[in-house]
């Protein structure tokens, strides 16, 4: 239901959103697309799993990826900003992290970052430390992303 609310709120504001996903592999986009009428505000999404895809498609600095890895708050912000640019949207949301079974980039399984960028505003980043199996972690990140967007739309009354 949260996806429905997010899309309805964006439509009322006359704003659009795009997704840049790594950890969630398109699951966030799928949740949004499941809502009838999503095309009114959802411009598109990209699954950028590999470092070079993050750099080339989303403009994440290669040096950032090389020094910190993909599981990083600044990488998440760059991914979300890249989604705004690539899809010409008002909002961009990104997910990156480690779902397992093994740690990655020096981060433990269950570490994730969600970034939300609104063009012209400061980015919002949420760091998560989750427990569970791979599928549970990915699902929890999708839910957390929808919660983050919903909260931002609720508190941002500039429109």
Tens of pLDDT, residues 25-36: 999 999 999 999
pLDDT of residue 155 exceeding 90, the answer is no
pLDDT at 105 (0 to 100): 86
pLDDT at 156 (0 to 100): 66
What string of DSSP letters covers the chain? -HHHHHHHHHHHHT--EEEEESTTTTHHHHHHHTSTTGGGTEEEEEE--SHHHHHHHH---HHHHHHH-SSSHHHHHHHHHHHHHHHT-SEEEEEEE--SSS-BTTB-TTEEEEEEEETTS--EEEEEE--S-HHHHHHHHHHHHHHHHHHHHHH----
What string of DSSP letters covers 113-132? EEEEEETTS--EEEEEE--S
Extents of the domains making up the chain: 2-155
Q: So what CATH class is 2-155?
A: alpha beta
pLDDT digits (tens, 9 = 90+) for 75-129: 999 999 999 999 999 999 999 999 999 999 899 999 999 999 999 999 999 999 9
| Residue reference for tokens 């890895």 | 69
pLDDT at 159 (0 to 100): 44
């Amino acid at each position: 239901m949260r996806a429905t609310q997010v899309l309805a709120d964006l439509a009322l504001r006359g704003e659009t959103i795009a997704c840049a996903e790594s950890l969630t592999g398109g699951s966030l986009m799928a949740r949004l697309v499941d809502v009838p009428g999503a095309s009114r505000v959802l411009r598109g999404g990209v699954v950028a799993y590999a470092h070079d895809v993050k750099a080339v498609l989303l403009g994440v600095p290669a040096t950032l990826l090389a020094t910190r890895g993909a599981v990083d708050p600044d990488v998440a912000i760059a991914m979300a900003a890249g989604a705004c640019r690539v899809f010409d949207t008002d909002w961009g949301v990104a997910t990156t992290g480690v779902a397992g079974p093994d740690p990655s980039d020096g981060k433990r399984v269950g570490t994730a970052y969600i970034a939300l960028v609104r063009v012209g505003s400061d980015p919002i980043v949420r760091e998560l430390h989750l427990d569970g199996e791979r599928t549970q972690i990915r699902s929890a990140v999708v839910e957390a992303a929808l919660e983050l967007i919903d909260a931002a739309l609720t508190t941002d009354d500039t429109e």
